[in-house]
Chain A
Amino acid sequence: MSVTQNQSRRDDAPLSTSKRDDAVDEATGALVEARGDTLVGRTVTINRPRAELYGYWRDFGNLPTFMDNVVSVEMLDDRRSHWVVKAPGGQTVEWDSLITEEREGEMIAWASAEGADVPNSGRIDFRDAQGGRGTIVTATIVYDPPAGMVGKIIAKIFQREPAIQARRDLRRFKQLMETGEIATSSRTHAQLAEEKA
């Protein structure tokens, strides 16, 4: 392997799939502002136009529709929003979030404001898929796990771990955008409410 390859990225794979320890540093470098040291990246292809997906996402009040652990997102002004998110053990965590950069139809970058319960930052990218397959949506999230590793393990047990949540949330976003609804195998309203609790 040549020196130049060693100095920069060695292949074309996303940093979130890297086996290297320093990948998170490189990933945070791609963010306008970085908060945290745990990296999550997930990509999904959605069979809808880019503008439509961006538009739905940019209206943050829509996000709790498919993000199961987000209780509410309130827009404080055009760039500032307040998030209430479920945490293990029936608790919630809250923070204010700032849009640090956005490009219409392409990407939104954010970072939590000072004093966040779970410091986090990230970006959501929308780009056209090859062969007319719709839009490739990539979420990149850098965060500090609540209460360090113990919090992360607890979160994993309760399935509120961000890597799992990101994957499931993106699938639900895809379902909603492609089919107009979010698939459920519940049989009754009572079961559905229990599932979402």
Chain B
Amino acid sequence: MRALTWHGKHDVRVDTVDDPEILNPRDAIIKITATAICGSDLHLYDGYIPTMQKGDILGHEFMGEVVEIGAKSTLQKGQRVVVPFTIACGSCYHCGKRQYSACDNGNPADNQDIGQELYGQPMSGLFGYSHLTGGYAGGQAEYVRVPFSDVGPIVIPDGVADEKVLFLSDILPTGWQAAENADIEPGDTVAVWGCGPVGLFAVQSAFLMGAERVIAIDHFPHRLELAKRFGAETINFEESATYEALMEMTGGIGPDAVIDAVGLEAHGFFVDNVIDQIKKSTFLGTDRTHSIRQAIVACRKGGRISMPAVYGGIVDKFPLGAFMEKGLTLKTGQTSVQHYMPALLNAIMEGKIDTTFLISHTLPLEQAPEGYAMFHDKQNEVTKVVLKPGMALAA
């Protein structure tokens, strides 16, 4: 089959590799019909993530048709499914508590050593995201092997376009969980740092959960425009001072809840201190690097912090004093996608959540390297790249 493979920093290629096979009873093989490049894929692209190996297949946002099933899969051939990026068994203590991203068993035993050493306990496996998270082949390919297919994939009704449901795999549940973690109360003002896909879905979700005002913060005019379309007020941090603007816009109180959805692109996943050095030397804005610090300082007394942004290492200059003195609460974590999928599929079907607005480019899988380059280089215009294996090459 053809698959997008990683070879090093800014070097991804579409290669021919062996087709995946059913290896365990609960497996299924999915023929990919649509897959997206995630902001967090850019970390891999930028070479920030350790434990990557040449030839690793990327992609953790994907959907397709069931073409093969193991003896204990509950799927049927021909069904269309969206697959969660978190690989969870459904049988362990954490899955029982619907904390799917904390699954004990989704990550192969040998790979769990790294997570155990780094974080104290290993987390679930993830598709296409380094050997730290299991070394599973991703879905930017013609086919993918999906373990625990009786727990993860959600069946999509006929007649619903791929574009409408594809983001159930990651960014829509991640934005939703971000808003849920902010414990929004009616009348609240919620501030969202970062208007990437997760931030934009968090904006929509916050309003659905009863927020009266949402203030979106970014520096890409087009992304702020999208946030405005969903009813958010905006702050462009290149034009206005963020903390001062937030204080004035909230009558000197500060936002009731703050959501840091920046880390996915602005923060190093693994060795933040090293990445900070790189950022300094390349003149990346400190506002982006320090979004969580700024969010904590801006948040009102007794308020809530939600952090969907991906961090992997150790951060210094964390304003622990402001966090403690103001009595703030912080909730975070990788998304338990399986927990949110059914309700969010309903919300899409009922037209309560718009997903297709995000897609700026659709390319054949063969042109995936171009997709990575444009997503990396033109973040204002390129909001989301969807790849389709069967699509004809563009001129």
Residues of A at under 8 Å CB distance from B?
Answer: 45, 47, 133-134, 164, 167-169, 171-172, 174-175, 178-190, 192
Contact = CB atoms under 8 A, between A and B. Distances in A.
Contacts of A184: 23-24, 108, 147
B105 A183 contact: yes
Interface in B257-271: none
A183 B18 contact: no
A186 to B, nearest CB: 6
A134 B105 CA distance: 15
B145 interface: yes
A174 B95 CA distance: 14
Given A178-B105, A183-B105, A167 B18 contact: no
B104 A192 contact: no
B109 A179 contact: no
Contact of A171 (B23, B57, B112, B148): B112
21 contacts: A134-B93, A164-B113, A167-B113, A167-B116, A168-B110, A168-B113, A172-B109, A174-B92, A175-B105, A175-B109, A178-B91, A179-B90, A179-B105, A181-B24, A182-B108, A183-B87, A184-B24, A185-B108, A185-B125, A185-B137, A187-B21
Given A134-B93, A171-B109, A174-B104, A181 B26 contact: yes
Contacts of B125: 183, 185
A164 B145 CA distance: 28
Given A179-B91, A184-B24, A188-B19, 8 more contacts: A164-B113, A180-B72, A181-B24, A183-B89, A183-B106, A185-B108, A185-B136, A192-B23
B167 to A, nearest CB: 24
B86 interface: no
Contacts of A192: 23
Interface string B11-27: 00000011111011110
Contacts, number: 84
A85 to B, nearest CB: 17
Interface residues of B, number: 37
Contacts of B24: 181-184
A189 B23 contact: yes
A179 B148 contact: yes
B378 to A, nearest CB: 33
Nearest to B1: A187
Interface string B21-49: 10111100000000000000000000000
A133 B93 contact: yes
Contact of A185 (B72, B104, B135): B135
A185 B96 contact: no
A187 B141 CA distance: 12
A179 B147 CA distance: 11
Interface in B105-128: 105-113, 116, 125
B89 A186 contact: no
Contacts of B20: 187-188
A83 B388 CA distance: 52
B170 to A, nearest CB: 18
A49 to B, nearest CB: 13
A47 B109 contact: no
A133 B91 CA distance: 12
Nearest to B107: A183
Contact of B109 (A134, A181, A183): A183
B109 A168 contact: yes
A99 B298 CA distance: 64
Contacts of A175: 89, 105, 109
A183 B26 CA distance: 10
A47 B111 contact: no
A180 B91 CA distance: 10
A45 B19 CA distance: 36
A188 B18 contact: yes
Contacts of B91: 47, 178-179
Contacts of B145: 187
Q: Which 10 A-B pairs have the closest CB atoms?
A: A171-B109, A181-B24, A185-B135, A185-B136, A178-B91, A179-B89, A168-B109, A187-B20, A175-B105, A183-B108
